[in-house]
Amino acid sequence: MIIHDDCEHYFDAIKARCPDVEICSYAPSSLRQDIENFAPQVVFSWKTKSIPLSAQRTIVTLPSVEWLHIAGAGFEHLLPLPDHLTVTNSSGVCSAFMAETVLAAILMWNFGFPRYIELQRERSWQKFQWKSVSEKTVLIIGVGSIGSKVAQYTKAVGMRVIGVKNRPTAVPAVDEMVAPADLHDVLAQADYVCVHVPLTQHTRSLLGARELARMKSNAILINTARGGVVDEQALATALVNHQIGGAYLDVFADEPLAQDSELWSLPNLIISPHVSDSVADWQTRFVDFFIDNLNRWQASETLVNIVDPELGY
């Protein structure tokens, strides 16, 4: 079963590679009737605002469902999930592309592009000195599939890399790895703070007023993970008061970002509409990953990317 508001592409791709699988794609117009008539074993779920979350939760908790695959990484919108359910996600499919976005944000801020764009609009010819990123430190909060790629890319341009990980084991390209309990100590060392953790009860508002106060006055915060990980009101206050140098946000607590949000007007904040994983063929990459896992499921093999709903990853 596919939960999406535009299922045709995914339906055809799965049917072409798995012709013996009975597929039912679910769109808003037929959702209720389809639930009553079909008892799925596997659910391929895309987060979509057109299908109410209550309906999506109902589907994935049907007694017939044995395996839920998330087209993406986060599944906090579907919690709580049944204990018996096997859950996988698509973590890692777009990690390299998301890491490119983070590196682009670092280079953009480091060279001062936001300031030069404003000066261009004013037709003002001013020059400013800048330091190489090779002289700076990046703090990566969450060194999973995406965070590891960010470490690789930032190390490639000469940055010192500090990582925060639940199990602080060595990771290539990370110079220093610490546990979450040491976050406050390393925040003060970072010129760039990049967030790459799932949204869970432990990470909600992980970066609030207290944490922002620990950052350097010229440090940049980059969040491409989940909006709820950063306290947006605390961040807005910190940006207005120039407590930190700036921020790049691709994700927000509520999306799309409300038209009347004060975040839109902050000159030291760059906003993008949750597009850090929107590489041109991302839909095909996600469905291909699912189909590979579906073939494993049919062969009674171990699935890739099994996650723990309690941990959130």
3-state helix, strand, coil in the chain (%, to 5): 40, 15, 45
pLDDT band, very low/low/confident/very high, at 26 (cuts 50, 70, 90): low
CA 133 distance to own-chain centroid: 24
In-domain check, residue 287:
yes
Predicted pLDDT at 266: 97
Predicted pLDDT at 30: 56
212 and 243 in contact (C-beta within 8 Å)?
A: yes
In-domain check, residue 305:
no
Residues 83 and 106 in one domain: no
Predicted pLDDT at 25: 66
In-domain check, residue 38:
yes
Of the two residues 233 and 50, the one the predictor is more confident about is 233
Number of domains in the chain: 2
192 and 138 in contact (C-beta within 8 Å)?
A: yes
Residues 82 and 129 in one domain: no
Of the two residues 38 and 45, the one the predictor is more confident about is 45
Predicted pLDDT at 243: 98
Predicted pLDDT at 33: 57
Active site residue 255: yes
Terminal alpha carbon distance of the chain = 23
Residues 132 and 244 in one domain: yes
Give the predicted TM-score (pTM) of the model.
0.89
40 and 56 in contact (C-beta within 8 Å)?
A: no
| 3-class secondary-structure state, position 129 | coil
Residues 127 and 245 in one domain: yes
Active site residue 226: yes
- Choose from 47-51, 78-82, 225-229 the range with maximum mean pLDDT: 225-229
Computed on alpha carbons and rounded to an integer, the radius of gyration of the chain in Å comes to: 21
Residues 216 and 287 in one domain: no
Burial class for 294, CB neighbours closer than 10 Å (0-12, 13-18, 19+): buried
Q: Could you list the residue range(s) of the whole structural domain that residue 67 is in?
A: 2-93+279-298
Residues 174 and 226 in one domain: yes
| 3-class secondary-structure state, position 25 | strand
Residues 157 and 263 in one domain: yes
pLDDT band, very low/low/confident/very high, at 210 (cuts 50, 70, 90): very high
Of 47, 54, 74, 45, residue with least CA distance to 203: 74
Of the two residues 313 and 158, the one the predictor is more confident about is 158
In-domain check, residue 63:
yes
Of 236, 278, 240, residue with least CA distance to 258: 236
In-domain check, residue 309:
no
Give the phi and the psi of residue 224 in degrees, each rounded to 5.
Answer: -120, 20
In-domain check, residue 306:
no
In-domain check, residue 26:
yes
Residues 214 and 197 in one domain: yes
In-domain check, residue 310:
no
> Does the structure show a pLDDT above 90 at 46?
no
CATH number at residue 165: 3.40.50.720
Predicted pLDDT at 155: 98
Residues 151 and 66 in one domain: no
31 and 7 in contact (C-beta within 8 Å)?
A: no
291 and 17 in contact (C-beta within 8 Å)?
A: yes
100: left (phi over 0), alpha (psi -120 to 50) or beta: alpha
The one catalytic residue among 226, 262, 296, 301? 226
In this structure, the number of other CB atoms found within 10 A of the CB of residue 178 comes to 16
Predicted pLDDT at 56: 83
The one catalytic residue among 274, 285, 301, 310? 274
Give the phi and the psi of residue 205 in degrees, each rounded to 5.
Answer: 55, 35
Residues 156 and 210 in one domain: yes
Name which of 7-11, 217-221, 255-259 the model is least confident about. 7-11
The one catalytic residue among 118, 255, 301, 310? 255
% pLDDT > 90, the chain:
71
Give the phi and the psi of residue 194 in degrees, each rounded to 5.
Answer: -115, 130
pLDDT band, very low/low/confident/very high, at 188 (cuts 50, 70, 90): very high
Of 304, 283, 297, residue with least CA distance to 11: 283
69's enclosing H/E stretch is strand 67-70
Question: What is the pairing mode between strands 192-195 and 220-223?
Answer: parallel
Residues 265 and 284 in one domain: no
Mean pLDDT of 266-288: 93
How far is residue 94 from each of residues 5, 70, 110, 154, 216, measured CA to CA in Å? 22, 14, 25, 17, 30
207 and 186 in contact (C-beta within 8 Å)?
A: no
> Does the structure show a pLDDT above 60 at 27?
no
Residues 75 and 111 in one domain: no
